[in-house]
Amino acid sequence: MDNQVIIDRPLKIVVASGKGGTGKTSVAVNMALACDRDISLLDCDVEAPNSHLFFQNNDNLENNCHDEFFDSIEEFSVSVPEFNDNLCNGCGFCKTICKFNAITMILNKPLFFTELCHSCEACFKICAMGAITPVKKMIGKIRRKKINDKLSLTDGILNVSEAKSPPLIKKIIKTYAGKGLCIIDAPPGTSCPVVAASYSADYAILVTEPTPFGLSDLKLAVDTLRQLKIKFGVVINKYDGDFGKVKKYCEDEKIELLGIIPFDIKIAQIYSKGGIIVNELPFMRDLFSKILEKALSEAVK
Interface positions with another protein (CB under 8 A): 95, 100-102, 104-107, 111, 113, 115-116
- Give 5's DSSP letter: P
- Closest to another protein by CB, 20 vs 113, is 113
Q: How would you class 211 by CB atoms within 10 Å of its CB: exposed for 0-12, middle for 13-18, buried for 19 or more?
A: middle
3-state secondary structure 182-250: EEEECCCCCCHHHHHHHCCCCEEEEEECCCHHHHHHHHHHHHHHHHHCCCEEEEEEEECCCCCCHHHHH
- Whole-number Å distance between alpha carbons of 294 and 257: 9
Residue 7: which H helix or E strand, with range? Answer: none
Report in angstroms how near the CB of residue 137 gets to another protein at its nearest.
17
CA 266 to chain centre: 27
CA 111 to chain centre: 33
Report in angstroms how near the CB of residue 194 gets to another protein at its nearest.
17
Report in angstroms how near the CB of residue 20 gets to another protein at its nearest.
22
- Closest to another protein by CB, 112 vs 203, is 112
Report in angstroms how near the CB of residue 81 gets to another protein at its nearest.
15
Phi-psi domain of 170 (left: phi exceeds 0; alpha: psi -120 through 50; beta: other): alpha
Report in angstroms how near the CB of residue 235 gets to another protein at its nearest.
32
Report in angstroms how near the CB of residue 106 gets to another protein at its nearest.
5
- Closest to another protein by CB, 4 vs 104, is 104
